[in-house]
Each structure stands twice: as C-alpha cells, then as structure tokens.
Amino acid sequence: MNKNTIVLTGGAGFIGSCFLWRLNLDGINNVIVVDNLGMSEKWRNLAGKRFLDYIQKDDFLGLIKEGRIKNIKTIIHLGACSSTTLNDAAYLIKNNYEYSKSLAIWAKVNRAKFIYASSAATYGNGEFGYDDSNKAVYTLRPLNMYGYSKQLFDLWILNNGLDKEVTGMKFFNVYGPNEYHKGDMMSVVCKKFLEVSQKGRIGLFKSYRDDYEDGEQKRDFIYVKDAIDVLFYFFKNPEKSGIFNLGCGTASSWNELANAIFSALGKEPCIEYINMPENLKLKYQYFTEAKMNKLRRSGYNCAFTSLKDAVGDYVGYLKETRYL
C-alpha cells in the first residue's frame, strides 16, 4: 500500500462517495473504501471513482488489528447506521459507538489522523442551543437512539482528551447527489422532488406547537458539496482538531425549502399539511441552526451555497439521473 494510504469508511454511502469524488478531483486515489454494500444499490456510488481497494466493514477491523493493512496515514470515518427511528440500542452501540472507538484507538496508536462524522441529532430539541464548544457538548440531550450513539462517542473523545488530536463534524441536514439508496433516510429535497414529479404537490408535517405555524419548522440545511469542502479542508490541514458544527449557520423553513423545489421545477407551489406520525411527535426537532464561530476560527472562510441555488443545482441533477 501507498505510505500515505487513506481509509474512507462509509465510502459507498451518500457523503462518503461524494467525498471520494472530491478526493479524486484533487488527484487523490490512494483510498481504501470500507462499507457494507449488502443488497442496496449504493455500489453505483463507487462506479467511475478511483480507489485502491474495497473492504467489507465487518472484515476491516480485524485486518488492521492483525497488521495486514499498513501505511495508513488518515482514517475518515463516515460509516454508521444513520436511522433516527431505529430502536435497536444494542446494534447502534456496537455499530456507531464501539466500532468508532476501535478505529480511533487504532489511529492514535498508529499515529494516523482520525476524522469522524458526528451529528446534529446530538442536540435533541435544541433546549441547550447549538453550541459546539466542549463545555456545551456535555449538556446535550438527544431525542433518539441514533443521536445518543453519536453523543456517546463525542463524549468519549472529550473525556479522553482526543479532541486535541482528532476532528469530529456534527453534520446538520445534508442533501445532495448519491443519496438515492437511503430509502426513508433520504433528504426531504430528494423525497419531495419525487413527490412533486409524481403528484404535483408537496406534503409537509403540521406543527404541534403554538409558536410555529404549519411548515414553519426550521432546519439548518447544507448542500453536500459545501459539506465535503469543509471535510476536505480538515483533511488538508491535519494539524487542526476538535469537534465542529457542519451546517451553513442559517435556518430555513420547510415552506422555504418546498418553494425552492417548486421554483427549480418551474411549477406553482402546492403544499398540503399532513399529520405527523405519533412516534415522531415527541422526537421532532422544530428548529436547528448551527453556530459556526468555531469552524470560522479554525480558518475555514468559504461561503456556503444559498438554499435556492443549492436546491436548484440538486434538482437539476435529480432530473437527469437514471437511478430514480
């Protein structure tokens, strides 16, 4: 293997495959992709990409622990179960927490840079704000088991002082190409594009709080192209470390998102407000907005794509893709 080999877990997934594209764009091909393709169509995300090798996720830990993969300089750990409705706590602990710890420990012992994906799901209902300072991370109360599995790993990083060596990214609502395989976990942009194409309308959840009108619940949406640019910045600057928010720093409503989709398709808006499933009502985030001060202080100063422009770009891609 190349002495500067990069391991990219979740490399066939949504953000992982987009990041592999970004690496290739810079002429970087010395990548080992680690994933679990299973019965999904996400193998398509690897078609046309350049990398050294593909290894199944369940085999990878054993291989590096046995010393059978050498010269790893960087581990970019984006692989995880990201279902916010899965209730199998044992699986999420093993897959999202224990696996991440094993990789981080190996990286430290072998002096490899470790960059990993956390999540805005750690912020719960936002009652403690969206501050990514170390002190604030300890106060968070996730609303679902997925968020808690990510919170546990963030805390483990902090409790072991590894934030001075590794880099964690709290992804907010990422959307963009290569997510078609995610089923119910696809972004709302992708889902609603299909809905408009098939039914000519968009259904949004009603609000169950007096301080929010229907469709005025807000999220910090970030285009995947912007997200991978931030990841690439930390990849190219391995001396920078810590846990950072990765949103765009501006919350937009579901109504704004829906209108951007209609505009990109050249259609008049038609929005219906539908009942929220009972199992989501107590776990639903009404507002997210990343504080971006820490990221900016790290030296990243690029602007983020506006919601209208990003949705327009993505809808153009969705209209052309043959996988939907």
- The pLDDT, as a whole number, for residue 282 is 81
- The pLDDT, as a whole number, for residue 3 is 63
Kind and range of the H or E element at 113?
strand 113-119
Q: What percent of the chain has pLDDT over 70?
A: 98
pLDDT tier, 70 (very low <50, low <70, confident <90, very high otherwise): confident
Report for 56-65, 186-195, 236-245: range of highest mean pLDDT: 236-245
The architecture in CATH of the region 5-174+221-249+289-304 reads: 3-Layer(aba) Sandwich (3.40)
Can you tell me the mean pLDDT for 117-140?
A: 94
- The pLDDT, as a whole number, for residue 182 is 83
Can you tell me the mean pLDDT for 65-76?
A: 93
Can you tell me the mean pLDDT for 123-151?
A: 94
Give CA–CA dist 209/129, Å, rounded: 18
For the beta carbon of residue 26, count every other beta carbon within 10 angstroms.
10
How distant, in Å, are the alpha carbons of 157, 265, 323 from that of 11? 23, 31, 19
Active site residue 3: no
Can you tell me the mean pLDDT for 104-133?
A: 95
Give CA–CA dist 5/314, Å, rounded: 31
Which residues have C-beta within 8 Å of that of residue 312, sequence separation ≥ 6?
260, 263, 264
Active site residue 146: yes
pLDDT tier, 1 (very low <50, low <70, confident <90, very high otherwise): low
Which one of 97, 99, 130, 146 is the catalytic residue? 146
Cβ atoms of residues 12 and 179 within 8 Å: no
Residue 192 pLDDT > 70, yes or no?
yes
Can you tell me the mean pLDDT for 34-52?
A: 93
**Bridge partners (DSSP) listed for residue 253:** 218
Q: Is 21 helix (H, G, I), strand (E, B) or coil?
A: helix
**pLDDT tens digits, residue range 159-184?**
999 999 999 999 999 999 999 888 88
Q: Is the dihedral of CA 173, 174, 175, 178 positive or negative?
A: negative
**Bridge partners (DSSP) listed for residue 287:** 218
CATH number of 175-219+251-288+309-320: 3.90.25.10
Which one of 182, 206, 267, 294 is the catalytic residue? 182
Q: In what order do the strands lie in the sheet with 167-171?
A: 53-56, 31-35, 5-9, 72-77, 113-119, 167-171, 242-246
- The pLDDT, as a whole number, for residue 322 is 55
Give the burial class of 174: count Cβ atoms within 10 A of its Cβ; 0-12 exposed, 13-18 middle, 19 or more buried: buried
Residue 58 pLDDT > 80, yes or no?
yes
- The pLDDT, as a whole number, for residue 185 is 81
> What is the overall mean pLDDT for the chain?
94
CA angle 57, 44, 313 (to 5 degrees): 115
- The pLDDT, as a whole number, for residue 229 is 98
Domain limits, the chain: 5-174+221-249+289-304, 175-219+251-288+309-320
Residue 323 pLDDT > 80, yes or no?
no
Looking only at the bridges linking them, the beta strands covering 72-77 and 113-119 are: parallel
Which residues have C-beta within 8 Å of that of residue 155, sequence separation ≥ 6?
137, 138
More confident of the two residues 81 and 96: 96
Give CA–CA dist 190/196, Å, rounded: 10
Kind and range of the H or E element at 55?
strand 53-56
pLDDT tier, 308 (very low <50, low <70, confident <90, very high otherwise): very high
Tokens of 257: 């998102």
